């Protein structure tokens, strides 16, 4: 079976026309995983038994003539921070190496109800801390486009599984660019929805005011269909909201005004990356879009603000992993020694770094100087976008300032690694939706174009993204 050409729509048509069965489809993707995993390492666990049982249930529905749900038979992968009942959920950490999820996250429950076939759990930077998937306690994932390079992070395994055709679509999670960056580096589509558009119940918390579950696919339409299944209010997540009324459909680029922030194309952006992103924006302008330059004046403070808030919330959220209540336990006989050894052995270097810095930022005498000031910058960034959206429908710019880098190239320098997030973190700080679209390649390496939308206007991003896909083809 040629899985490369499959989409969610063609899977449905193939099943209804009996060109293949759901079981045959699942076996084809499981075969791809067996064939490619030794090189790519996109998965931490493959759920063959679960996948085949779910596929068999879809085949049963077809044989009985029952109506098929939206994602019937669609093979998906799931980032290993999202709970799937009965499967291991490590968050890429030794701290949770043997943790078996006792229930389904809400997004998994919805995916299962929609008929999706879960292939397995994908690799990630430990507890979502990193930009390359090199911080996984279980080894790095490699970029399917170039095995010497990183796939981006932290949802690198999810993006790599889609790019390598080991999964049709994937569920990821984005705290500071963790869906968009790997989508850009691997040449697939990835959306980070509005904060609250998708339930976080059953997702291992990292930075609770920033985390958001989103989707990845080879096409905008595939990412959209999976998003529409998982979005909506969940009584188990108090931050989730009802999906608001959709905006008027954008049937033509002539209906769209695109804002291009001058701050996104200044020093620090690789010229080849910037030129390709500008080319993509010009293509949309030639297709009829109205393009205007805008300013987001507080952009220069976003990265520093983000990391103060991110690390502070990490230090609070990860305090529970003490080896006694949750996580890896190292028996020592004395309470303090057990705390130290359990956390010392359970957490990797980047996690320890962020816990210590976050604890410092929240400590007496420093809270106002760091955390409170970072929250004030967050408000200023939000006001920048609100002003911009008074005259534009979407904001366009790069996803990453450089091409996918070599494995090991930045891992010894945390600050160099953090710079990968410079264009993605403003979106998480402000709670806005944003999508990464494949914009072409430089020296054979993928480059992503980022579109940022108004709150709860994911459909505008999908519609604009689909029009961009169309003019590229």
Question: Tell me: the pLDDT tens digits for 249-304?
Answer: 667 999 999 999 999 999 899 999 999 999 999 999 999 999 999 999 999 999 99
What pLDDT is stored for residue 27 in this prediction? 98
Residue 80 domain-assigned (yes or no): yes
Residue 325 domain-assigned (yes or no): no
Average pLDDT, the chain: 96
Residue 247 has pLDDT above 90, yes or no: no
Can you name the residues that pair with 172 across neighbouring β-strands?
214
Residue 244 has pLDDT above 70, yes or no: no
**Angstrom distance (rounded) from CA 333 to CA 66:** 59
Query: What integer is the mean pLDDT of 104-133?
Result: 98
Contact predicate 58/117, CB 8 Å: yes
Laid out side by side, the sheet with 189-192 consists of 43-46, 117-122, 75-79, 169-174, 212-217, 189-192, 434-442, 445-453, 394-398, 257-261, 290-294
How many domains, in total, are found in the chain? Answer: 1
Structural domain including 52 reads: 3-230
Question: Tell me: the pLDDT tens digits for 26-78?
Answer: 999 999 999 999 999 999 999 999 999 999 999 999 999 999 999 999 999 99
Of 166, 163, 219, nearest in space to 191 by CA: 219
For residues 317 and 325, the model is more confident at: 317
Instruction: Band the pLDDT of 1: cuts 50, 70, 90.
Output: confident
- Whole-model pTM: value is 0.96
Residue 43 domain-assigned (yes or no): yes
Share of the chain above pLDDT 70, in %: 99
What pLDDT is stored for residue 243 in this prediction? 76
Residue 67 domain-assigned (yes or no): yes
Residue 92 has pLDDT above 70, yes or no: yes
Residue 240 domain-assigned (yes or no): no
- Write the CATH number for 201: 3.90.1300.10
What pLDDT is stored for residue 280 in this prediction? 98
Query: What integer is the mean pLDDT of 334-362?
Result: 95
Residue 2 has pLDDT above 90, yes or no: no
Instruction: Band the pLDDT of 333: cuts 50, 70, 90.
Output: confident
Share of the chain above pLDDT 90, in %: 94
What pLDDT is stored for residue 332 in this prediction? 85
Residue 451 has pLDDT above 60, yes or no: yes
Residue 331 domain-assigned (yes or no): no
Of 350, 342, 305, nearest in space to 320 by CA: 342
Residue 349 has pLDDT above 70, yes or no: yes
Question: Tell me: the pLDDT tens digits for 134-175?
Answer: 999 999 999 999 999 999 999 999 999 999 999 999 999 999
Residue 149 domain-assigned (yes or no): yes
Residue 245 has pLDDT above 60, yes or no: no
Of 104, 67, 106, nearest in space to 87 by CA: 104
User: How far from chain centre, in Å, is Cα 297?
Assistant: 26
- Cα–Cα distances (Å) from 245 to 196, 232, 457, 459, in that order, read 15, 12, 9, 10
Residue 225 domain-assigned (yes or no): yes
Of 118, 230, 96, nearest in space to 173 by CA: 230
Residue 273's Cβ-count burial label (10 Å; 0-12, 13-18, 19+) is: buried
């Amino acid at each position: 079976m040629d899985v490369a050409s499959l989409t969610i729509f063609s899977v449905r048509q193939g099943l209804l026309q009996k060109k293949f069965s759901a079981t045959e489809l699942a076996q084809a993707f499981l075969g791809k995983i067996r064939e490619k995993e030794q090189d790519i390492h996109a998965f931490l666990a493959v759920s063959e038994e679960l996948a085949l049982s779910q596929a068999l249930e879809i085949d049963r529905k077809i044989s009985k003539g029952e109506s098929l749900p939206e994602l019937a038979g669609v093979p998906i992968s799931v980032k290993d921070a999202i709970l799937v009942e009965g499967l291991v959920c490590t968050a890429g950490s030794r701290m949770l190496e043997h943790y078996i999820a006792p229930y389904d996250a809400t997004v998994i429950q919805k995916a299962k109800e929609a008929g999706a076939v879960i292939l397995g759990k994908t690799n990630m930077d430990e507890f979502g801390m990193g930009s390359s998937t090199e911080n996984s306690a279980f080894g790095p994932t490699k970029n399917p486009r170039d095995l010497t390079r990183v796939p981006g992070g932290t949802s690198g395994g999810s993006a790599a599984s889609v790019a390598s055709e080991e999964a049709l679509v994937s569920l990821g999670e984005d705290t500071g660019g963790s869906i968009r960056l790997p989508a850009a580096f691997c040449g697939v589509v990835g959306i980070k929805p509005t904060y609250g558009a998708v339930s976080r119940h059953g997702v291992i918390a990292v930075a609770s005011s920033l985390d958001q579950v989103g989707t990845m696919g080879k096409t905008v339409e595939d990412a959209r269909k999976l998003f529409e299944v998982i979005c909506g209010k969940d009584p188990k997540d108090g931050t989730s909201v009802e999906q608001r009324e959709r905006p008027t459909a954008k049937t033509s680029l002539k209906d769209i005004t695109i804002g291009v922030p001058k701050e996104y194309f200044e020093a620090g952006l690789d010229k080849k990356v910037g030129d390709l992103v500008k080319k993509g924006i010009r293509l949309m302008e030639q297709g009829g879009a109205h393009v205007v330059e805008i300013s987001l004046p507080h952009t220069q403070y976003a990265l520093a603000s983000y990391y103060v808030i991110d690390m502070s919330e990490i230090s609070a959220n990860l305090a529970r992993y003490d080896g006694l209540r949750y996580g890896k336990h190292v028996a020592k006989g004395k309470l303090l020694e057990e705390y130290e050894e359990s956390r010392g052995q359970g957490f990797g270097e980047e996690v320890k770094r962020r816990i210590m810095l976050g604890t410092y930022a929240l400590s007496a005498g420093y809270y106002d100087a760091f955390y409170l000031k970072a929250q004030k910058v967050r408000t200023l960034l939000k006001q920048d976008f609100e002003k911009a959206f008074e005259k534009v429908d979407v904001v366009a710019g790069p996803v990453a300032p450089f091409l996918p880098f070599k494995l090991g190239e930045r891992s010894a320098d945390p600050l160099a690694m953090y710079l990968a997030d410079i264009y993605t973190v403003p979106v998480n700080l402000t709670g806005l939706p944003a999508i990464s679209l494949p914009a072409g390649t430089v020296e054979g390496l993928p480059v992503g174009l980022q579109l940022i939308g108004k709150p709860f206007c994911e459909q505008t991003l999908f519609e604009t993204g689909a029009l961009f896909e169309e003019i590229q083809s």
